[in-house]
């Protein structure tokens, strides 16, 4: 299992929202070290991974995680934890760019 400080930002966002019932968008962006727009885009991507087992709702600058099916959510969460997304990893991104 990856730690909160890994480079898998999608899993990190989901981990934070699992622990906090509600978090402001600006706090989440600061914690991740990215812009609010980036967090909004990440939330859209996370929601597409979660399908219908859970959803991250964003309303009036507040983010909250609603889980509808615990077993399917855990499976989706585990997949996100194990995924190393190239565009979310600065070190892998650098290696890719310099490799080209």
At residue 90's C-alpha, the angle toward residues 73 and 62, to 5°, is 45
Q: Which distant-in-sequence residues (6+ apart) come within 8 Å of 7 by Cβ?
A: 84, 88, 89, 90, 91, 92
Query: Is the predicted pLDDT of residue 85 greater than 70, yes or no?
Result: no
pTM of the model: 0.76
Alpha carbon distance 42, 86 (integer Å): 14
pLDDT tens-place string over residues 16-50: 999 988 999 999 999 999 999 999 999 999 999 99
Alpha carbon distance 89, 95 (integer Å): 10
Model pLDDT, residue 1: 34
Alpha carbon separation from 21 to 8, 12, 18, 71, 87 (Å, rounded)? 21, 15, 7, 19, 28
Alpha carbon distance 67, 43 (integer Å): 14
pLDDT tens-place string over residues 51-74: 899 999 999 999 999 999 999 999
Query: Is the predicted pLDDT of residue 89 greater than 70, yes or no?
Result: no
């Amino acid at each position: 299992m990856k730690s909160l400080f890994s480079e898998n930002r999608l899993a990190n966002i989901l981990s934070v929202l699992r622990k906090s019932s509600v978090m402001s968008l600006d706090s989440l962006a600061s914690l991740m070290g990215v812009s609010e727009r980036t967090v909004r885009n990440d939330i859209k991507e996370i929601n597409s991974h979660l399908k219908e087992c859970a959803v991250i709702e964003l309303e009036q600058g507040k983010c909250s995680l609603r889980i509808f099916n615990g077993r399917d959510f855990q499976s989706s969460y585990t997949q996100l934890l194990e995924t190393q997304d190239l565009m979310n990893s600065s070190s892998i991104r650098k290696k890719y760019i310099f490799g080209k």
